[in-house]
Structure 1
């Protein structure tokens, strides 16, 4: 039976695409919504129809309750699936839909209100026997009140915003002197991100593991759980890699934590799919503490789908339509192991700065079912399987307006070792050129000995970061890029991988007898000079090497360097300056190497001289586009080296820009200003002498 005939998906990106696939499989018409920034997005293309809801700013589009309610009404949608993020846990949104006679595919308003407030939720479930972490969770407390009560909690402690999620505003405080400034920063972030600056304090659990339990409940009083997910691999409280089941829990603890999750859900009359999150100490795995309940589908829901064979989106739809659950607790069986990695548009080697750009070449791994059905347990006999939930398209522009997550790569194996190997192999096959991603970083994490052994906690990534070694381009990459860049930009090479081949059938040839100098920009801001001759290259005064370059299928080349072969995915991007950037990728790693003109080359040479001489740059530039959310100093103030000046938010993340030297500051922006990448936001005038 089809629960609805038409459903609007009030979200964007990969989760909107994933919901639309299940709607298509069930024979339900789908309605997408989009902002001006998403007019060409994948979810818009995949839906049966699409409705524009406003400009790029989320507050005027995806967060606009009147706009989405009107889109649902105008399209004739009977129900709205909120995905996650945006309005998915907004009680006012659920009420507005109910007032309009439209079904909200989620829990009731009361459950949203209780569980959407961490303070209220913690106090509420404690009354139903669910274990909670010691702390201060009272509404209406000022910073001074929290400081006064912190001593009773003890240090170290954790500051958490009462509203929202995703780790935003969560701050670890090791000692009392740090608390006042940390509270002020956390309250500012919470107010900006969630419209609610209420904070709570919790005792920090050492060696913590983040384990969550998936629950399902219907309107007929049935509540079940579908096992747990291990979500301990996090950076700044943002999950990176998740898996099911947890390698920490034994069968008895799994049963106890599942029962506690069901109790938490029943305490608010929960209906639909939800997740109850617990903190478990690695040192005492039989103890767990309630953290919060997410009253929506989770980003990491595919790992549960792969080990249970249950389509959670389908269950949400059927429950919302009033159907009883067709699954009893005794029917739930965890088969094998599944692991998910989140692919972000970011640059891990540069402090995880958000990345923007245009997808010039895309190759995604896996055997995703185009009809959207999760891979079910009975189909796993052949071994590991891979699924990709993605928002990516070749030619898609990735901006800074929204969250930087692009896709999720999920692998199933008959055991954890097989799942880990399958996920690593899938990431090695994942190619995105034109936008920097974290794929190389994900593979480094999967190779970590503690990760392979299942010895996880929420601080592991932070401890490992400074020891991670990211790949830098070497002679093969510079040689391949120079050979590509040496082609006439107006010729077939400029057409990119989809155009005619820039190589003769028997390999690379240059007609001119004299060598040609190609200057490439390096990732660290320097330059690499390559002399390209007839079937030879010479890098930065090094020895001359025999080199040929030939096509290796669409969007791929093979470089023979002194007879040794190197294979790369490749594409080209055109810069606003008219220069060309060669994009290369291999085994999940990618690099952008711009072919520099004279002006760009001289600018890099000048900057390199300054670095060599130890001269700090007086201009403070934002490395990414975004919005100025705060200015920490006054115009003309005296500042010290390393002092925070301006905070810029991009892709829902806040970045502090600091002074590179001591002096007097001249500010060029104010709070609320929109800034472009590399824009000067402040200038430091050094003190005399």
Structure 2
């Protein structure tokens, strides 16, 4: 076995690999960029080396001087044949398959041709990207980067006239994420199920599969919730699809841990189609570990060190059920745009059958440079319903305040009747999002700014959260905790504007908007926890204030509640007067922190509502910023500029012939 291993990755997977390295007594070496100088994986390593980029082979190999092996994790260079060659040249073991497997299976076009020649059924597609080939494949179709996975760059094209724009965006994302902008197109299969098979193989030709994972719960081709085993397959189909995956591995002399992904028709669950092979560890590998009892990272290391597999196919037994939820730094109230911020409060769940793979720590700054996944919460149970219940309970005990996440959205997924019944397909989450309205019990309050904001400023917060935020801030500003201050005259209510909601506090009563006063009291339970007694009901909450914002955590949900000052209210009112009768705010703001990657208009251009002005990239996602109305555009940013959330990137003014607004 190795004595030292460099982990050429970051975040939760780097921490996960290091956990196994330390358990085996192996020295763990981390790499980091300037953006990750204070990251948890740097802290967990025995030593850390600064590099220019996680995509720089030269930097990674140079940092590995003196170590026995490099573990690439997933993403970045994990499926890069050039890294495997560089390791070989430097006398370092690459913890992954050989160059042949990386080259054949790392290229989706070549992989499909390879397995098709071997008789494995594949989805109709083409490596030729032109109108004629697309028409032959048939619409709707899917544009996919050839060199990578994770849903990055994948784009659905419904009509021929949308193909050109889709190719431009997909190439840009593919180049940024994988360093290769080669694309392929495939027929889009409606309502399919995404099922993948985990493999282990050694240098002596032994190949076994560890059962399958159901990964059909996806949003924009990015997996969100995964489980093992699939609730769809029977034992006969499980054996057939497992053997097909093993045959794919044998055809390229595969060594190590890998995954073969299939599309399976929900209407014909005994039929499956090869999609691709991932020549690396998968994000969702913990669910397989929980139902098999195997440490996949350990076996990656053992095989890479030349050991033979200790188990045969007959030794593999799946016990119980496991399900995983990915926690992302994204804002469901803003169409899941990436989020950034500082983790001020952090609670990660524990308990029977619960596992958390995480890179989070209190005080960590979440930037926009890398993938938005922060952690994975995983639950095991003797059966599927128990596993789902345990996962939901674990998510309810997860608190992340200071950056918006999808934790409450994950709980909504688990509560859906189709999810609980196992009636899954890759389009289910999109349909649920279209049907879903952000839950809120916030009372209707008249607002002079009605319609000005593009999103709910409370992010779905209810009366409980608005009142708790107001009382928390009131206690700090008025010295209610540990103060013996006094004032002359009768007490007068203190008013706070939480987003667009006005809250008045007078003694032990609060008034929200135009509603009647209700009894309310906040009882502090610690530095960042309190019980809100509102109208006779007690609500345990987590709270923290950062600048002009108070965050409230409630059973996994986190609400960012901004407090407006008199100066800010005046500025908003003046902006409304300047706008006059124009229906929208003339200022166009960035919907997320990120980098301007392209600008499609010039200052002085006449634009129409819906026209793309520029594109912003953050966490390997692109978002087009469009004109909110017709008018003349003035741009305030250029390509490569860094922008913050709500940064003004352009202004739209009326045409000269519109006259002067009232």
Fold shared by both chains (TM-score > 0.5): yes
Distance 2:150 2:546 in 1: 33
**1:44-83 equivalent positions in 2, closer than 5 A:** 44-53=42-51, 60-73=52-65, 76-83=66-73
Kindly state the Cα deviation for residue 97 of structure 1 after the two structures are TM-superposed.
1.3
Q: Once the two structures are superposed, what CA deviation does each residue of 1:430-478 show, in whole Å capped at 9, x if it has no partner?
A: 1111111100101111111111111111111111112223233233222
Distance 1:463 1:637 in 2: 37
> Does the C-alpha gap of structure 1 residues 94 and 600 become closer, same or farther in structure 2, counting only changes over 3 Å?
same
Aligned with residue 505 of structure 2, among 509, 532, 551: 532
Check conservation: 2:6, 2:30, Cα contact below 8 A. Answer: yes
- Of 293, 305, 308, the residue aligned with 1:309 is 293
Match runs of 1:351-362 below 5 Å: 351-362=335-346
Range moving further from structure 2, 466-475 or 456-465: 466-475
Partner of 2:645: 677
Residue matched to 1:664: 632
Once residues 545 and 396 of structure 1 are traced to their aligned partners in structure 2, the CA distance between those partners, rounded to angstroms, is 38
User: Which of 87, 90, 109 is the aligned partner of 1:100?
Assistant: 90
Please state if 1:233 is matched with 2:233.
no
The within-5 A match list for 1:102-501 is 102-137=92-127, 141=128, 143=129, 146-367=130-351, 385-471=353-439, 472-488=460-476
Counterpart contact for 1:128–1:263, Cα < 8 Å: no
CA distance in 2, matches of 1:313, 1:612: 62
Shift of 1:26: 0.7
SS in 1 for 2:270: strand
Give the alignment partner of residue 651 of structure 1, picking from 616, 619, 626.
619
Post-superposition offset of 1:29: 1.1
User: Any idea what the Cα deviations from partners look like across 1:318-368, whole Å, max 9, x if unmatched?
Assistant: 00000001111111011111000000011111111111111111111024x
Q: Is the CA contact 2:339–2:593 (under 8 Å) kept in the aligned structure 1?
A: no
Aligned alpha-carbon RMSD (Å): 2.0
Q: Cα offset for 1:605?
A: 4.7
Deviation at 1:201, TM superposition (A): 1.8
2: CA distance, partners of 1:418 / 1:79: 40
SS of the aligned residue for 2:119 comes to coil
* 2:565 corresponding residue in structure 1: 597
Matched, 1:627 2:615: no
Paired residue total: 635
Change in CA separation of 1:231 and 1:613 when aligned onto 2, cut-off 3 Å: farther
Does the 8 Å contact 1:486/1:516 carry over to 2?
Answer: no
Hey, what does 2:443 align to over in structure 1? Answer: none
- Stretches of structure 1 that go unaligned for 5 or more consecutive residues are 54-59, 368-383, 492-501, 575-579
Q: What displacement does 1:671 show?
A: 2.2
What TM-score, normalized by structure 2, do the two folds share? 0.92
Matches of 2:118 and 2:267 in 1, distance apart?
26
Taking the aligned partners of 1:521 and 1:387, their CA distance within structure 2 comes to 36
Q: 1:25 to 1:607 in 2, by over 3 A?
A: farther
Q: 1:356 to 1:18 in 2, by over 3 A?
A: same
Contact 2:173–2:621 (CA under 8 A) maintained in structure 1: no
Is contact 1:510–1:534 with CA below 8 Å preserved after alignment? no
Counterpart-to-counterpart distance in 2, 1:91 and 1:458:
30
Unpaired runs of 5+ residues, structure 2, are 440-459
Runs of 4+ in 1 over 4 A off after TM superposition: 488-491, 508-513, 604-614
| TM-score (norm. length: structure 1) | 0.89
Whether the aligned pair in 2 keeps the contact of 1:511 and 1:534 (CA below 8 Å) is no
In structure 2, distance between residues paired with 1:31 and 1:447: 41
Bigger shift: residues 623-632 or 280-289: 623-632
Deviation, structure 1 residue 98: 1.2
1:36 matched to 2:34? The reply is: yes
**Equivalent-residue separation in structure 2 for 1:189 and 1:358 (angstroms):** 26
Give the Cα–Cα distance (whole angstroms) in 1 for the partners of residues 321 and 586 of structure 2.
52
Is contact 2:32-2:49 (8 Å) kept?
yes
User: Which structure 2 residues correspond to residues 558-577 of structure 1 after superposition, within 5 A?
Assistant: 558-574=531-547
Determine if contact 2:579/2:586 at 8 Å carries over to the other structure: no
